[in-house]
Amino acid sequence: MRQKSGTILPGILLVLLALVLVPGSSGSVMAEGGTALPKPLAEKDFLPYDEKRARLGRLLFYDPILSGNRNISCGTCHHHDLASADALALGVGEGGEGIGAKRTTGAGKTLIHERVPRNAPALFNVGHRDITMMFHDGRLSIGDRYGNGFVSPAKEQLPKGLNHIAAAQAAFPVTSATEMAGQPGDNEVAGPISKRMDHGWALLAQRVQAIPAYLPIFVDAYPDVRAADEIAFVHIANAIGDFVISEWRSYDSPFDRYLAGDATALNGEARAGMDLFFGKGNCSSCHSGPLLTDHEFHALCLPHFGPGKVVAFDNVTRDLGRMAETRKATDAYRFRTPSLRNIALTGPYGHNGAYASLEGIIRHHLDPQKAFDSWTPQHVTLPSSARHDDHDFVSFQDTRERELMRSALDIEPVALNDVEVQQLVAFMHALTGERSVKGRLGRPATVPSGLAVD
């Protein structure tokens, strides 16, 4: 440690400083070995929101009126009862019924067209100011390349006036044929969306305009809305965004209490796991900062299954991750580092939910290639589908593709014993919030459209 003048502090002062760098002091909280822990989260670390818009967004978030066939909402796959996620490896979107592990893939005319190709991420702390990018591949980010404040698949079609990245994110699931829009020909929205996203957004706004019960709520929330035909999709997205950034702010876990100065907040096993996480286990090389993510992209040698995210001119069923957005070969199979807050509640784990348990994904990190070689579909929580069961794991049998996935690895193996693995699991549980995990406003019992709420 050096003073501003550059002179080395006397040894005795260094000793005194070391003594005060403990929970509750004005200095950094340290893990065993001297690694500085993240600063505690606080309300000031989050984006502001409008209460009236958040309450409107709560209704829209759970209203199936925003789906092509009026049969699914944002809340179906990001449900309050499921810690803002869906408890499935790969989501079951448009056409499915129920929530969580009980969700079915439909039958007959309502049989889903395909599974959602990636795991539904939880929504905890997405209003944190550090978040400038969203989705597993980072295809939405803050930037003004297209004059609307965001770099996204919609490019110039994304409307101006979206208040933050969570509002921009709300614009995309409704345009996905697999997630919410349905297939062209299914309804009056899906076809136009498949040609131009903004055409679909306008049609969805018209649906909301036609529901009388929504008008007074929009008028109360937006000074520029005085008549139904003034409700635009930007109003809808901003309301959903304000709901999302305000609903799941979570920093009341045992770990947070420890960071804030309560040295007794972690039990012995969790404390040992924390020291491993920030020390020998090297977990914090990627899971760093207050949200326990570096917001970067890493290849973890995770196995592939499901429909994949096929890019143009690629005839192989696979998911190339970040490469699909950057077109850089060096980004192949790299995915965004997830936040670990409330991770014990939000399995399955990995960008495609390849592991149902925390222990499974932790052990994968310890020796990814060995885990890849021994991985089997039994690790996966995936509702059965008459149309897809026979094809879900076919791509994983492709010898060449397996070798490409196996060789895509950005982390080094770490040797931990069974006791240490359980200590890491205990620390993951110590990242679980208390009251915050239930959400601030909660799930509404009814929505203005009168459609059923999942």
Got the DSSP string for 271-303? HHHHHHHTTTT-GGGTS-TTTT--S-EE-B---
Which DSSP letter does residue 161 get? T
Burial class (CB in 10 A: 0-12, 13-18, 19+), 97: middle
C-beta neighbour count of 352 within 10 angstroms? 25
The Cα–Cα gap between 27 and 41 comes to 15
pLDDT at residue 34, as a whole number:
73
Instruction: List the structure tokens of 99.
Output: 């929530």
The Cα–Cα gap between 114 and 392 comes to 10
Which DSSP letter does residue 379 get? G
The Cα–Cα gap between 281 and 283 comes to 5
Burial class (CB in 10 A: 0-12, 13-18, 19+), 411: middle
The Cα–Cα gap between 225 and 217 comes to 10
pLDDT at residue 387, as a whole number:
87
Residue 43 CA neighbour count, 13 Å, CB half: 5
- Three-state DSSP state, 151: strand
pLDDT at residue 4, as a whole number:
38
pLDDT at residue 373, as a whole number:
96
CB 341 within 8 A of CB 250: yes
Max Cα-Cα span within the chain? 78
The Cα–Cα gap between 49 and 440 comes to 13
Angle at 312 between CA 176 and CA 201, to 5 degrees: 25
CB 436 within 8 A of CB 123: no
pLDDT at residue 13, as a whole number:
32
C-beta neighbour count of 315 within 10 angstroms? 5
Sheet holding 150-151, edge to edge: 133-134, 140-142, 150-151
pLDDT at residue 28, as a whole number:
65
Angle at 200 between CA 199 and CA 201, to 5 degrees: 95
Q: Judge if the upstream peptide bond of residue 173 is cis by omega within 30 degrees of 0.
A: no
> Could you report how far apart the first and last alpha carbons of the chain are, in Å?
56
pLDDT at residue 315, as a whole number:
82
CB 100 within 8 A of CB 81: yes
Instruction: List the structure tokens of 134.
Output: 């969203």
Strands 150-151 and 335-336 turn out to be unpaired
| 366 membership: H or E segment, kind and range | helix 358-366
State the 10-residue block means of pLDDT for the chain, 454 residues long.
34 33 51 86 97 98 98 98 98 96 90 94 98 98 97 97 98 97 95 95 98 98 98 98 98 97 97 97 96 98 91 85 94 97 98 97 98 94 89 88 94 97 98 96 98 98
| 133 membership: H or E segment, kind and range | strand 133-134
Burial class (CB in 10 A: 0-12, 13-18, 19+), 62: buried
Q: How far is CA 181 from CA 73, 99, 200, 203, 386, in A?
A: 10, 18, 9, 11, 22
